Amino acid sequence: MTIDNPTPKKIHQGRNIKRFREILGIKQEALAFDMGVSQSSISDYESKEILDDQVLGKIAEILKVPAEAIKNFDDELAINVISNTINNNDNATMTNPAVLNYQPSFNPVDKMVELYERMLQQQKEMIDKLERLIEGK
């Protein structure tokens, strides 16, 4: 809720599941397999505005994202933050001393390596799942 918009915007949890699933490169069929449901059930979940906490928790666990992220992600808010932060017309962010003096409390290379290792692990898990699926046919 903001001053400009007195009514809080409803978050569409199903749409957020779809966004996170697509960002992670996971097909509906793969998510359905992991959940032990049909692909059409995943499609139904993704069309619902609000999901049961148990279902949402299981999906979040499989996608390896916090359930709160699915419950609270607002793409319009994210776009507004990005558009208000980056100004391509005058390079203000590149001349801002606060930006130029930014010293992260973590090593960005370590984070990239960590992300890469996580992606490799997820790829291995997907290959294992596909092999199990193929063996089951």
Residue with tokens 């290379």: 109
Among 40, 37, 75, which residue's Cα sits nearest to residue 59? 37
Mean pLDDT of 40-58: 94
Which of the two residues, 107 and 41, has the higher pLDDT score? 41
Which of the two residues, 137 and 15, has the higher pLDDT score? 15
pLDDT at 45: 96
Determine the Cα–Cα distance for residues 106 and 1; give it in Å rounded to an integer. Answer: 33
Among 54, 83, 64, 58, which residue's Cα sits nearest to residue 26? 64
pLDDT in tens, 54-112: 999 999 999 998 898 888 887 777 666 666 665 555 454 555 555 556 566 667 777 78
pLDDT at 1: 46
Contacts of 76 (CB under 8 A, 6+ apart): 9
Determine the Cα–Cα distance for residues 6 and 75; give it in Å rounded to an integer. Answer: 18
